[in-house]
């Protein structure tokens, strides 16, 4: 359970910060830091055992019927990333507490940050790949919220949408690839998949799975050609950039490549796809970074370049390259997060991030200059800092790797990329901190307080210590993590600042010298770069999105043109064709169950249904009349349920009919009562033939099913276990709240969503084109001069308390007799509908004390809490508990947790009905106000003359 606790702590922190939304920024940061610290301490406590070779795992059933478990495991690779996520996350929280202004919505910021932290942590410790995919998509959603935190900025909104579109699209590919991988390996648990290398690579689906998985990894880690989204995400606040785009989110793709390295690497397809993509990304990212004037833009493209470096190393497919990749993950996280914070300090104190408006800050901001210079020199790969060591090791690996038989190609391109990397690092130092001072800084530069420079200082100290003492600071961790990545014996190596005179040293010297030269001649080189006709990735992306939108609109206009008859025709025709195809392929064998003779009551009911259906068809031009016939059909169906001994269904059907008919009456009030016929005679004939064929097919299907005797009917289980397992004698209610409680839980959520949909659609009924139509609306029926008859008003007052008592009685008896929360909620809703009809919308609204949205929310939350309560006692979700108690004078009674679940159902039903009623009534009322009727809008029924509407 320790891993479950660790994974939950950031999410609990997000909730805790949300509850403290009215507290100060420092308190909110302290809450977030406390949860991050607790998770980090728990991870560090397990570090010695994990580094010694122990794999900590926890597994509990998720969907046992499918063999799926929600499982976590912590190995050295997960330990490394968990430490980076929580450690750098803690520093970013402290930094953000001093970076954000008092006017910022800091509670929202820290909640989003903790949500993202929990999602990233879930990725690195998940054992089940389906659970990993859930966290993967959650990182895309939470990063969208963080990138777009400054939603008043157009670039923030655009950057958030772009990041979500690219990483979300890659996530869809990843889902398909991971599911394929699980099917090939025969398991969805990573620990089992990673031991199935031969099975996976021998499968004909290996190339497909590999490409799909790499698409997910490349989009998340901003690899070419998906690199363009990361710089546009720099519109986020600097703490977000320091966290998401240097140490965590963009490394999620690299992490997954490292995690799946044992099972996917070692093939030519892996090498050419991964190494080539990484090499191109490394070169392009470095070239663009050199000519960026915005400091965060420069660092963003440098991040793209370094992510390409990591991708290339893991793409080599050799154990030593994996070792270098692991080491550079650590080094890059330290110096890049420090640099982003440093750029934030410059922006915060000077008022600009534009390198053209900076320079000479070293004397004015000595602390920031020292920290920024050390981190930038490490990024450039200069000794004695940690970036130098991993860069030298990377160059050494590249020098001994051949691409398509060309031994010189990789070393040359990598050296050029390293040269550009050194150049943009030197530019960051020289153009920001050195050179002549300016007299036109937007603000007077000065070093900030320790709250801003303290977090990057911690990272810079690590940059220096790892560089000076790599064997002491990082060797044990790198060896353990590299062993977890490769799952094989590692080659001999040692971490040191000096590896002798090697080809890598020469390549490094060329890179540093070339970087200095480019900086010296930066003006000339910059003009040449800007004169080149280079494609703009964002412009290409926007053009591609525009083309997709246009194509989608054309397809939508063709397939879904708003014609309901056309849509229904396509639907029924397709269903009919599928049924015919199934019959022709599978054949048909008649059922063996004996049929029952039809009684006179059944025949009369059938004829009544037939007559009602024909009447609805014949009255298509009269909507109110058609609605009356539909209500007759519903009543006959209710009587059929009574005849077939299904009282629960009969009660539900009657209640639903009353509620829907009343709501439809309100809706039809806003539509023409006799719409013109738009169907030609040939179309009527076509539709009639299709309807007859579809109806015959459904009737035949029902007959075929009912004449078959099931071998093991599920009803037998429900009959036998209703009293014993659910504690109730009403089998229908026990099924709804116990045996299939999860279905009911989903249904009330759908009901709530439907009510919110009605709310959203009608909320704008008086705006735009719909408002113009309402403005031009003329009632096409004669209105009664007495809008609210006194007898109806008085009767409704008497009906309300009686209906509430009936609803309560039906609710309490539901577990053992016909009734339950759904029916009770409908009965109460009918009583409220009568109040609105009798006394009017405004009169009833003034006396309403409960928010409808809250009813829906509380209903769903109560139902969910009932299910979660079962988990607290070690039972499956929504397992009900019950017992019998003897009360003096009353006798034996039963108490069941299903009662609480039913309360949630009833509240959701009432909230959904009342929300739909309010919006329909409100739209009608606003229409009459627009129309300018002479009817009094607010007449109190207690006064002579009638009731208010």
Distance between CA atoms of residues 748 and 909, nearest Å = 7
Confidence at residue 931, expressed as pLDDT on a 0 to 100 scale: 47
Distance between CA atoms of residues 699 and 695, nearest Å = 6
H-run or E-run covering 131: helix 129-147
Q: Domain ranges in the chain?
A: 598-675, 730-949
Strand-pairing partners, residue 403, are 406
CB 424 within 8 A of CB 289: yes
Radius of gyration of the chain measured on its C-alpha atoms: 34
Beta strands in 158-232 (DSSP E): none
- Burial degree of 600 (CB within 10 A; 0-12, 13-18, 19+): exposed
- Burial degree of 738 (CB within 10 A; 0-12, 13-18, 19+): buried
Distance between CA atoms of residues 278 and 417, nearest Å = 11
Distance between CA atoms of residues 689 and 494, nearest Å = 81
Residue 847 CB neighbours (<10 A):
9
Structure tokens at 817: 């007799």
Distance between CA atoms of residues 405 and 12, nearest Å = 54
Distance between CA atoms of residues 316 and 277, nearest Å = 11
Percent of the chain with pLDDT over 90: 34
Confidence at residue 947, expressed as pLDDT on a 0 to 100 scale: 37
Structure confidence by residue, pLDDT tens digits, 715-741:
888 888 888 787 888 888 888 888 888
Virtual torsion, Cα 492, 495, 496, 502, nearest 10 deg? 50
Structure tokens at 294: 């915005």
Structure tokens at 850: 């409960």
The verdict on whether omega for the bond into residue 384 sits within 30 degrees of 0, i.e. cis, is yes
CA proximity to 214, closest of 257, 278, 151, 250: 257
> Considering Cα of 328, then 331, then 337, then 341, what sign does the dihedral take?
negative
Distance between CA atoms of residues 368 and 96, nearest Å = 17
Virtual torsion, Cα 474, 479, 485, 487, nearest 10 deg? -170
Structure confidence by residue, pLDDT tens digits, 395-423:
999 998 888 888 889 999 999 999 999 99
CB 412 within 8 A of CB 511: no
Structure tokens at 96: 């953000």
Ramachandran category for residue 237: left, alpha or beta (phi over 0 → left; psi -120 to 50 → alpha): beta
Confidence at residue 888, expressed as pLDDT on a 0 to 100 scale: 78
Convert 328-355 to b/e letters by CB count within 10 Å (16 or more is b). Answer: bbbbbbbbbbbbbbbbbbbbbbbeebeb
Residue 315 CB neighbours (<10 A):
26
CA proximity to 114, closest of 38, 26, 33, 19: 33
C-alpha pair distances (Å), 92 with each of 99, 379, 455: 10, 20, 7
Structure tokens at 550: 């246009």
Residue 20 CB neighbours (<10 A):
18
H-run or E-run covering 74: strand 68-74
Structure tokens at 476: 């044990």
Confidence at residue 374, expressed as pLDDT on a 0 to 100 scale: 95
Angle, helices 450-468 vs 366-380, to 10°: value is 40
Percent of the chain with pLDDT over 70: 92
CB 69 within 8 A of CB 62: yes
CB 476 within 8 A of CB 51: yes
> Considering Cα of 517, then 518, then 521, then 525, what sign does the dihedral take?
positive
Confidence at residue 60, expressed as pLDDT on a 0 to 100 scale: 78
> Considering Cα of 205, then 206, then 211, then 217, what sign does the dihedral take?
positive
Structure confidence by residue, pLDDT tens digits, 110-146:
999 999 999 999 999 999 898 899 999 999 999 899 8
Confidence at residue 270, expressed as pLDDT on a 0 to 100 scale: 93
CB 396 within 8 A of CB 492: no
CA proximity to 286, closest of 511, 459, 541: 511
Distance between CA atoms of residues 700 and 704, nearest Å = 6
- Taking 50 as the pLDDT cut, the residues of the chain under it are 930-949
Confidence at residue 949, expressed as pLDDT on a 0 to 100 scale: 33
């Amino acid at each position: 359970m320790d891993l479950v606790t660790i994974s939950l702590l950031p999410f609990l922190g997000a909730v805790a910060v949300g509850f403290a939304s009215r507290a100060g920024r420092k308190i909110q940061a302290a809450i977030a830091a406390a949860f991050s610290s607790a998770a980090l301490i728990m991870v560090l406590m397990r570090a010695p055992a994990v580094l010694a070779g122990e794999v900590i795992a926890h597994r509990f059933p998720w969907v046992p019927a499918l063999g799926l478990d929600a499982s976590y495991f912590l190995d050295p690779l997960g330990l490394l990333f968990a430490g980076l996520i929580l450690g750098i996350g803690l520093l970013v929280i402290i930094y953000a507490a001093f970076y954000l202004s008092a006017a910022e919505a800091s509670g929202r910021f820290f909640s989003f940050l903790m949500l993202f932290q929990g999602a990233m942590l879930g990725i690195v410790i998940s054992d089940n790949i389906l659970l990993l995919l859930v966290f993967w998509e959650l990182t895309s959603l939470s990063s969208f919220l963080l990138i777009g935190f400054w939603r008043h900025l157009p670039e923030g909104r655009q950057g958030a949408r772009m990041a979500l579109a690219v990483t979300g699209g890659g996530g869809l590919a990843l889902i398909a690839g991971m599911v394929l991988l699980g099917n090939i390996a025969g398991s969805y648990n990573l620990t089992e998949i990673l031991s199935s290398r031969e099975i996976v690579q021998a499968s004909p689906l290996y190339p497909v799975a590999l490409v799909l998985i790499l698409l997910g990894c490349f989009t998340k880690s901003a690899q070419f050609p998906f690199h363009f989204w990361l710089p546009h995400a720099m519109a986020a606040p600097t703490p977000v950039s320091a966290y998401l785009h240097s140490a965590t989110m963009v490394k999620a793709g690299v992490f997954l490549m490292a995690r799946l390295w044992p099972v996917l690497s070692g093939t030519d397809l892996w090498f050419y796809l991964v190494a080539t993509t990484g090499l191109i990304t490394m070169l392009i990212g470095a070239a663009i970074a050199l000519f960026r004037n915005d400091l965060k833009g420069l660092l963003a493209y440098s991040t793209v370049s370094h992510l390409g470096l990591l991708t290339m190393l893991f793409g080599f497919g050799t154990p030593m390259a994996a070792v270098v990749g692991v080491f550079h993950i650590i080094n890059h996280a330290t110096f890049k997060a420090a640099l982003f914070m440093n750029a934030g300090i410059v922006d915060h104190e000077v008022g600009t991030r534009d390198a053209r408006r900076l320079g000479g800050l070293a004397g004015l901001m000595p602390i920031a200059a020292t920290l920024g210079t050390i981190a930038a020199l490490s990024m450039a790969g200069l000794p004695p800092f940690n970036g130098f060591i991993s860069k030298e090791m990377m160059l050494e690996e590249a020098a001994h790797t051949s691409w398509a038989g060309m031994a010189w190609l990789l070393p040359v391109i990598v050296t050029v990329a390293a040269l550009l990397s050194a150049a943009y690092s030197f530019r960051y130092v020289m153009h920001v901190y050195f050179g002549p001072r300016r007299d036109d800084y937007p603000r007077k530069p000065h070093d900030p307080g320790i709250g801003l420079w303290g977090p990057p200082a911690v990272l810079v100290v690590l940059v220096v210590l790892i560089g000076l003492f790599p064997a002491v600071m990082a060797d044990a961790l790198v060896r353990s993590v590299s062993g977890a990545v490769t799952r094989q014996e590692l080659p001999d190596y040692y971490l040191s600042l000096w590896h002798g005179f090697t080809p890598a040293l020469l390549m490094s010297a060329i890179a540093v010298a070339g970087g200095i030269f480019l900086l010296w001649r930066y003006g000339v080189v910059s003009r040449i770069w800007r004169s080149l006709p280079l494609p703009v990735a964002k412009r290409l992306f926007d053009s591609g999105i525009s083309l997709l939108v246009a194509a989608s609109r054309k397809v939508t206009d063709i397939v879904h043109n708003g014609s309901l008859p056309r849509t229904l025709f396509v639907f029924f025709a397709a269903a009919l064709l599928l049924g015919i195809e199934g019959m022709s392929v599978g054949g048909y064998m008649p059922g063996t169950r004996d049929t029952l003779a039809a009684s006179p009551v059944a025949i009369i009911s059938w004829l009544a249904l037939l007559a009602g259906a024909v009447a609805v068809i014949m009255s298509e031009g009269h909507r109110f009349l058609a609605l009356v016939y539909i209500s007759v059909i519903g009543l006959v169906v209710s009587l059929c349920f009574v005849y077939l001994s299904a009282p629960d269904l009969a009660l539900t059907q009657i209640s639903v009919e009353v509620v829907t008919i009343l709501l439809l009456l309100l809706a039809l009030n806003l539509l023409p009562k006799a719409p013109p016929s738009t169907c030609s005679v040939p179309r009527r004939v076509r539709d009639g033939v299709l309807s007859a064929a579809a109806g015959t097919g459904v009737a035949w299907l029902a007959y075929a099913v009912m004449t078959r005797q099931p071998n093991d009917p599920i009803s037998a289980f429900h009959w036998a276990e209703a009293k014993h397992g659910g504690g109730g004698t009403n089998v229908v209610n026990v099924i709804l709240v116990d045996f299939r409680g999860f279905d009911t839980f989903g249904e009330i959520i759908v009901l709530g969503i439907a009510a919110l949909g009605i709310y959203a659609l009608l909320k704008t009924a008086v705006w735009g084109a719909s408002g113009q139509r309402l403005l031009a609306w003329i009632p096409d029926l004669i209105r009664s001069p007495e809008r609210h008859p006194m007898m109806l008003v008085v009767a409704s007052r008497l009906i309300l308390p009686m209906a509430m008592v009936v609803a309560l009685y039906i609710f309490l008896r539901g577990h053992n007799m016909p009734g339950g929360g759904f029916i009770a909620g409908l009965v109460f809703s009918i009583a409220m509908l009568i109040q609105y009809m009798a006394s009017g919308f405004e009169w009833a609204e003034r006396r309403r004390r409960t928010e409808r949205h809250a009813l829906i929310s509380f209903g769903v939350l109560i139902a969910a809490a009932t299910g979660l309560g079962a988990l607290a006692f070690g039972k499956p979700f929504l397992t009900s508990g019950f017992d019998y108690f003897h009360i003096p004078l009353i006798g034996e009674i039963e108490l069941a947790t299903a009662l609480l679940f039913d309360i949630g159902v009833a509240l959701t039903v009432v909230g959904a009905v009342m929300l739909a009623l309010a919006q329909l009534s409100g739209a009608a009322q606003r229409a009459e106000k627009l129309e300018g009727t002479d009817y009094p809008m607010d007449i109190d029924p207690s006064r002579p003359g009638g009731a208010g509407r």
